[in-house]
Chains A and B, each alone.
Chain A
């Protein structure tokens, strides 16, 4: 009975109901779409970083610390037999790292010189361009490095480095290819050459600094090599997304708060404006608890109608964004959004949608119930006269 009455009451309220319902549906839509974008970003960024940089995990030479460049001189070791087997089976790729200096436009710049197996197919890096045909030493760089160092394909770049004995040496490399990636950790200030050439330059045959694996057959530390899982390697990304998600939460809490104010306002107004109606219902035999339930239900129906209205315009819009993505500009990486392409493709899971609906329903129920409690104190004779009982 109360369901029927509540439904009739809110439909009968006309424009006021639909305005509240629309605002509430906007809250649903904004929360779901924002969260969807963060889930999409997280998945896309993880996918890109795995494809270009970390694959399914890495082994780090025990001295290697990516946050401490001074460790690089000592962070190298002979590839252990177990991993050498995987490298031969194309299940892993060794990378050797050394700090170096280049001189673009007559200025000295520090770079990280990386050697990688040219035949590798584990990472997206176009290492086929590193295969030596002539006496020239081919190198590949990312588009951001090319832009910041003013380098283009065909340029010769002088690289200075120190070998394992600490002796400086220099060589010219030719930029064979400029690749485009959104993963900053393989682009920024990095020059890639073939592993064998770098091993020769550093006098470190069969040595590497990190070994990238595309299997999880070995996930334990080996002698002198520490295993780093995907979740560890993606930790920074996860933390960054979590931080941004919290930031966006403030926005949608604000939006939800505004929508709830609309419901709260409607309920408070209804309780003041419809006192006579309440008095009449009491005279006709409705119980106070039923009256409280009726007014609370009216608030909940706003939330239910908002789900329907939100679905009518929200589903096509969310589908559209899921298909074409949302353009965020080509300079997304400049803002530290690693792994993000020009467009962001949101992902909406049932957990996200159901979670949002349940959250808004719970909040709406509470917000609808709070003003309705005033009815418990209402005397029928006061209500019939249009007064509130003090």
Chain B
């Protein structure tokens, strides 16, 4: 039986909006197992990104409990939540969010610098990650010299380089054309299968559905459907 990685119980998230509060998430109950390849789907404003941010300890819930790898994220100090992200979570963003003045190598190396690894270890891991995403020939390029697909591949390499337990990807294919989207998804699926890394996507891209093994549908902040698909 697979180990539980994330447990979400009765989570609610409200944002102040003028004199009232906007409810972004309502009574969310979820459990993610290690090695899952899950897509959280739903239209814009359904709460996908908010849920990912709470899981990634970038944001905190208004009510309920979220445990990531046994740690209650709402109770973590700033230092401890940074440690959790640094050691266990990789992020992939819709707009890639590469650091513009760094080369491909340096962008991928960044999370390892935060972990205090030595130069040799960093170099080996960066090369391994870049081989995974097939960007060894762009190692010295700056993000401005890359295409959208290549940028997202660098972002994937940066997310997986430290071999995290969990990768949170927020609309990873939204800015890519169909071919690049499929390539990126295939790549992430392969990483998931070969390394056992848990992937959670927030997406409203229909192409993603073909690859995910669990589909959670959010609508107006509530879980509408949670289903196992594609033989997951």
Q: Give min CB distance, B143 to chain A, whole Å.
A: 11
Q: Give min CB distance, A273 to chain B, whole Å.
A: 11
Q: Please state if B97 and A381 are interface contacts (CB–CB under 8 Å).
A: no
Residues of A within 8 A of B97 (CB): 276-277, 279-280, 283, 384
A-facing mask of B101-135, CB < 8 A → 1, else 0?
11000100011011110000000000000000000
Residues of B within 8 A of A280 (CB): 91, 93, 97-99
CA distance A277 to B95 in the complex (A): 12
Q: Please state if A8 and B91 are interface contacts (CB–CB under 8 Å).
A: no
Do A282 and B101 contact each other (CB < 8 Å), given the known contacts A381-B58, A384-B93?
no
Q: Please state if B87 and A285 are interface contacts (CB–CB under 8 Å).
A: yes
Within 8 A of B (CB), among A286-316: 286-288
Do A5 and B113 contact each other (CB < 8 Å), given the known contacts A284-B91, A285-B83?
yes
Decide yes or no whether B85 CB sits under 8 A from chain A: yes
Decide yes or no whether A239 CB sits under 8 A from chain B: no
Q: Please state if A286 and B101 are interface contacts (CB–CB under 8 Å).
A: no
Do A284 and B78 contact each other (CB < 8 Å), given the known contacts A1-B116, A381-B53?
no
Within 8 A of A (CB), among B180-211: none
CA distance A277 to B102 in the complex (A): 12
How many pairs, one residue from A and one from B, have CB atoms within 8 Å of each other in the complex? 69
> Taking CB as reference atom, which chain A residue is nearest B99?
A277
CA distance A284 to B79 in the complex (A): 13
* Partner of B113 from A4, A288, A380, A381 at Cβ < 8 Å: A4
Decide yes or no whether B59 CB sits under 8 A from chain A: yes
Residues of A within 8 A of B100 (CB): 12, 277
Residues of A within 8 A of B56 (CB): 283
Instruction: List 17 interface pairs A-B (beta carbons < 8 Å), by A numbering.
Output: A4-B113, A5-B113, A8-B102, A279-B97, A280-B98, A280-B99, A281-B99, A281-B110, A283-B91, A284-B110, A284-B114, A284-B158, A285-B83, A285-B86, A285-B111, A285-B114, A381-B59
Decide yes or no whether B82 CB sits under 8 A from chain A: yes
B-facing mask of A11-33, CB < 8 A → 1, else 0?
11100000000000000000000
> Taking CB as reference atom, which chain B residue is nearest A277?
B99
Residues of A within 8 A of B102 (CB): 8, 12
Residues of B within 8 A of A8 (CB): 101-102, 106
Q: Give min CB distance, A390 to chain B, whole Å.
A: 11
Q: Please state if A1 and B58 are interface contacts (CB–CB under 8 Å).
A: no
Q: Please state if A287 and B53 are interface contacts (CB–CB under 8 Å).
A: no
Residues of B within 8 A of A283 (CB): 56, 58, 85, 91, 93, 97
B-facing mask of A371-390, CB < 8 A → 1, else 0?
00000000111001000000
* Partner of A1 from B82, B87, B114 at Cβ < 8 Å: B114
Q: Please state if B58 and A282 are interface contacts (CB–CB under 8 Å).
A: yes
Decide yes or no whether A185 CB sits under 8 A from chain B: no
Decide yes or no whether A220 CB sits under 8 A from chain B: no
> Taking CB as reference atom, which chain A residue is nearest B97?
A280
Residues of A within 8 A of B158 (CB): 284
Q: Please state if B106 and A287 are interface contacts (CB–CB under 8 Å).
A: no
Residues of A within 8 A of B87 (CB): 285
CA distance A282 to B79 in the complex (A): 11
Q: Please state if B113 and A1 are interface contacts (CB–CB under 8 Å).
A: yes
Decide yes or no whether A9 CB sits under 8 A from chain B: yes
Within 8 A of B (CB), among A350-390: 379-381, 384
CA distance A9 to B85 in the complex (A): 23
